[in-house]
A and B are shown apart, each in its own frame.
Chain A
Amino acid sequence: ETGVTQTPRHLVMGMTNKKSLKCEQHLGHNAMYWYKQSAKKPLELMFVYSLEERVENNSVPSRFSPECPNSSHLFLHLHTLQPEDSALYLCASSQGFGGLGYGYTFGSGTRLTVV
């Protein structure tokens, strides 16, 4: 039990489907993040939420839509994805947003395949 839970663990979806990834943290953290991890590439930061407010959107295509209804939950809504969007999507949380010594706690990720 890592404290950050992501569901589903695996997802296969067609390009016309709509699906959502869910992330839940039970650590009392006040910041949450979505990362994309493609093969042979560094982790790419997609979105940052601090105190339920989006503070960063790293030029992510609009087919990815985040939602943070409260400090414990983070969603990533997906629609009309492309095959190149296939990747491992990692959620993370941290306490003390902006504090250098605060690392992130990651979930196990959702492995997404777009067909």
Chain B
Amino acid sequence: AQKITQTQPGMFVQEKEAVTLDCTYDTSDPSYGLFWYKQPSSGEMIFLIYQGSYDQQNATEGRYSLNFQKARKSANLVISASQLGDSAMYFCAMRVGNQGGKLIFGQGTELSVKP
């Protein structure tokens, strides 16, 4: 069965510092995609970054990077130079080849950035 696990319910980080949010996944399908979303208090889910299972390099998008360790089945999100506006819930999600496209989400991590 496919599963996404985020073990950090809440995280604190000082403004301007880097923070890593953990995500592990489980699937037996060799084809899958991993996503990170940000959910501010307004409720909207905002797409941040994507990593495909066959991608050779770690994905990066501005201050976001994905530390993809395939053998460990982990896809941690790294946010560099944290800003106050980064305070939000962060969700890791996976889409697998045999699941008809549906996204499976982890429990989320609540990030608080301190000034």
Given A55-B100, A56-B102, A100 and B44 touching (CB < 8 A)? no
* A contact set with B: CB distance below 8 Å: 2, 31, 33, 40-43, 45, 48, 55-56, 88, 90, 92, 94, 97-109, 111
Closest Cβ of chain A: how far from B5's Cβ, in Å?
A: 10
Interface centre among A33, A104, A109 (most CB of B within 10 A): A104
Closest Cβ of chain A: how far from B26's Cβ, in Å?
A: 14
Instruction: State the interface size on chain B (CB cutoff 8 A).
Output: 28
Cβ B32 vs Cβ A41 within 8 A: no
Cβ B105 vs Cβ A108 within 8 A: no
Given A42-B105, A100-B32, A101-B33, A108 and B43 touching (CB < 8 A)? yes
Complex Cα gap A98–B96 (Å):
9
9-residue interface stretch from B14-22, B45-53, B76-84: B45-53
Complex Cα gap A103–B47 (Å):
8
Given A43-B91, A90-B45, A108-B43, A102 and B107 touching (CB < 8 A)? no
B90 within 8 A of A: no
Cβ B44 vs Cβ A101 within 8 A: no
Task: Note all chain B residues with C-beta closer than 8 A to A99.
Answer: 101
**Would you give 23 A-B contacts (Cβ < 8 Å), ordered by A?**
A2-B44, A41-B107, A42-B91, A42-B105, A48-B101, A90-B45, A92-B45, A92-B103, A98-B101, A99-B101, A100-B33, A100-B52, A100-B53, A100-B95, A100-B96, A100-B97, A101-B50, A103-B47, A103-B50, A104-B45, A106-B37, A106-B44, A106-B46
Contact of A108 among B42, B95, B102, B107 (CB under 8 A): B42
Other than the given A106-B46, A109-B44, 14 more pairs (CB < 8 A) read A31-B101, A33-B102, A42-B105, A42-B108, A92-B103, A97-B101, A98-B101, A100-B96, A100-B97, A101-B52, A104-B45, A104-B103, A107-B44, A109-B43
B35 within 8 A of A: yes
Q: Which 3 A-B pairs have the closest CB atoms?
A: A106-B45, A100-B33, A109-B43
